[in-house]
């Protein structure tokens, strides 16, 4: 692009200010921060807006009040209240009540943030929100922010499954789920056959007593909002920025495009643009404290492609039985391991001590290993010693492993994780481990089998090829990069 054109484009985009609103969950905040940085890199302004409970964890020093904006690395951060400023406690709080509260309290307090940004000379031009916060669009419009977009932080195959479920294929899904066979197949338009276990788990909920029964009505509302066929209101469409790329989910994107204004912009991962990102000190401002243990130095001492990295993300809890099975597998596999066991995985001190003992024994009987409470996952996955990722298959973890070329053992638990595991297998970069019992425990022998299967030259070669595909999608001229630039340009010109 000629320099003058580029300058002109940047000036135009300077006018765009994206406010990205999220839930207080790491799996939402992390991709929101990556997207914000991507907007800023393209010359726009971006502010990430998180609930007060998350803001306090991200900026705990007390120097920033929740009524102020703070800036880090060119990105603004602001807080809104979801009505749970002390945090949501899974042990006592109720999801359905949370959804009602966040809508009521969030609508009021987000309006305050929008006014504050406008009065401060940084009016928002586009409100972006992660899953299931559709009220953000209403608040935005009431405050003269015309453009809105959903940042879809799950695979677009999951969105396609939700779409087709609510558009004529509910019966087929319900019948397959009712068969109680996780391998029963479902045929949805434009998608390859999916087994029940490959679909978002919420689609298989049939009882109103299920703690996640509140989810489907929420998705139904979202699909109504996104479906262009319903949109004769004359209002601009709600864009969906999907954190995926064409080579990975081309069929699902094609199956949605006639119905939804979906734009593939992923993988949205800052380290793909800024190599220093994986070399600099741990990424700050997570919702968890980074472990001070020098796990990166420890990784440095290990041969290339030798280490098994194990993490089940930011919210899944590993049962005691699961911890024991993983420890037994690592003792026998004779491969060094780095294992994330979050503090909130333990009930009490006694529990923590028992887990510590299991990890130490596995490290001693096997080829060495360590546990950390929280690490800088992209830096771990980028480390040459890491040869395999045992993951619950959250979408962020899945994208990070693909972008780093690390083979995967998938141990999905719920929501979109089964769909992500299906994608991993389809791409040939990993295997889905079989689980046993009602509580879905991954047993030692099966884990060992899977680790051996994916730490092979063939899987490593496929993972390396997908790493290149991911990098190409977001490089200058790549499909996702062009689509995101075009989206920013469209927002900039519609709000001129």
What residues are labeled active site?
Answer: 28
Residues 6+ apart with CB under 8 A from 181: 196
Tokens for 261, please give them.
């204004």
430 forms beta bridges with 408
Q: Least distance in Å: CB of 290 to ligand UDP? A: 8
CB closer to ligand UDP out of 110 and 340 = 340
Q: Among the candidate windows 23-31, 127-135, 193-201, 352-360, which touches ligand UDP by CB under 6 A?
A: 23-31
Q: Least distance in Å: CB of 443 to ligand UDP? A: 22
Alpha helices by DSSP H, 15-155: 26-41, 52-58, 95-119, 135-142
- For ligand UDP (CB under 6 A), the number of binding residues is 19
CB closer to ligand UDP out of 282 and 494 = 282
CB closer to ligand UDP out of 342 and 448 = 342
Asked if 371 and 339 count as a contact pair (C-beta separation under 8 A), the reply is yes
Check residue 243 for interaction with ligand UDP (CB under 6 A).
Answer: no
310 forms beta bridges with 339, 390
Q: What sign does the CA torsion over 325, 358, 421, 409 have?
A: negative
297: number of CA atoms within 13 Å, CB side? 3
Check residue 140 for interaction with ligand UDP (CB under 6 A).
Answer: no
Output the CA–CA distances (angstroms, integers) from residue 101 to 96, 133, 411, in the order listed: 9, 12, 33
Q: Least distance in Å: CB of 189 to ligand UDP? A: 27
The Cα 330–Cα 99 span in angstroms is 40
CB closer to ligand UDP out of 247 and 293 = 293
Question: Which position has the token pair 């009016």?
Answer: 123
Residues 424-453 that bind ligand UDP (CB under 6 A): none
CB closer to ligand UDP out of 43 and 51 = 51
Residues 363-422 that bind ligand UDP (CB under 6 A): 374-378, 394-397, 400
Q: Tell me which of 24, 27, 51, 369 binds ligand UDP, using CB under 6 A.
A: 27
Check residue 30 for interaction with ligand UDP (CB under 6 A).
Answer: yes
Residues 289-348 that bind ligand UDP (CB under 6 A): 311, 313-316, 340
CB closer to ligand UDP out of 261 and 373 = 373
The residue among 21, 37, 45 whose CA lies nearest residue 112 is 21
Asked if 369 and 376 count as a contact pair (C-beta separation under 8 A), the reply is no
Site string for ligand UDP, 155-194 (x = CB under 6 A): ----------------------------------------
186 forms beta bridges with 194
Asked if 117 and 17 count as a contact pair (C-beta separation under 8 A), the reply is yes
Binding site for ligand UDP (CB under 6 A): 26-27, 30, 311, 313-316, 340, 374-378, 394-397, 400
């Amino acid at each position: 692009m000629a320099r003058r054109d580029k300058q002109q484009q940047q000036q135009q985009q300077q006018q765009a200010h994206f406010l990205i609103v999220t839930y207080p969950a790491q799996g939402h905040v992390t991709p929101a921060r990556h997207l914000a940085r991507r907007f800023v890199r393209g010359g726009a302004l971006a502010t990430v807006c998180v609930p007060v409970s998350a803001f306090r964890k991200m900026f705990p020093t007390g120097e920033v009040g929740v009524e102020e904006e703070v800036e880090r690395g060119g990105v603004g951060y602001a807080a809104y209240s979801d009505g749970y400023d002390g945090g949501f406690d899974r042990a006592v709080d109720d999801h359905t009540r949370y959804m009602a509260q966040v809508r009521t309290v969030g609508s009021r307090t987000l309006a305050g943030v929008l006014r504050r940004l406008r009065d401060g000379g940084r009016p928002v031009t586009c409100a972006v929100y992660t899953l299931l916060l559709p009220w953000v669009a209403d608040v935005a419009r009431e405050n003269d922010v015309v453009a809105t977009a959903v940042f879809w932080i799950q695979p677009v195959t999951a969105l396609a499954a939700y779409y087709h479920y609510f558009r004529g294929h509910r019966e087929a899904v319900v019948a397959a789920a009712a068969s109680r066979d996780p391998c029963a197949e479902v045929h949805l338009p434009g998608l390859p056959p999916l087994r029940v276990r490959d679909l978002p788990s919420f689609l298989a909920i049939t009882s109103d007593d299920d703690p996640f029964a509140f989810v489907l009505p929420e998705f139904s509302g979202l699909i109504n909002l996104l479906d262009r066929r319903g949109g004769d209101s004359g209002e601009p469409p709600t864009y969906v920025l999907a954190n995926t790329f064409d080579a990975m989910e081309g069929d699902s994107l094609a199956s949605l495009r006639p119905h939804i204004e979906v734009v593939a912009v992923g993988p949205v991962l800052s380290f793909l643009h800024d190599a220093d990102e994986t070399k600099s000190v741990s990424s700050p401002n997570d919702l968890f404290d980074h472990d001070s243990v020098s796990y990166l130095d420890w990784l440095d001492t290990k041969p290339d492609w030798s280490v098994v990295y194990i993490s089940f993300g930011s919210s899944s809890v590993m049962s005691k039985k699961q911890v024991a099975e993983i420890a037994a597998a690592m003792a026998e596999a004779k491969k060094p391991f780095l294992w994330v066991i979050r503090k909130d995985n333990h009930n009490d001190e006694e529990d923590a001590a028992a887990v510590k003992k299991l990890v130490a024994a596995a490290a001693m009987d096997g080829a060495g290993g360590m546990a950390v409470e929280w690490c800088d996952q992209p830096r771990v996955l980028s480390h040459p010693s890491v040869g395999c990722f045992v993951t619950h298959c959250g979408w962020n973890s899945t994208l990070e492993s693909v972008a780093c070329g690390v083979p995967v053992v998938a141990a999905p638990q719920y929501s979109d994780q089964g769909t992500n595991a299906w994608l991993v297998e389809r791409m040939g970069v990993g295997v889905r481990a079989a689980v046993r019992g009602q509580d879905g425990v991954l047993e030692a022998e099966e884990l060992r089998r899977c680790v051996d299967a994916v730490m092979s030259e063939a899987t490593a070669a496929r993972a390396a090829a997908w790493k290149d595909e991911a990098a190409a999608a977001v490089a200058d001229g790549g499909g996702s990069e062009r689509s995101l630039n075009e989206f920013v340009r469209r927002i900039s010109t519609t709000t001129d």
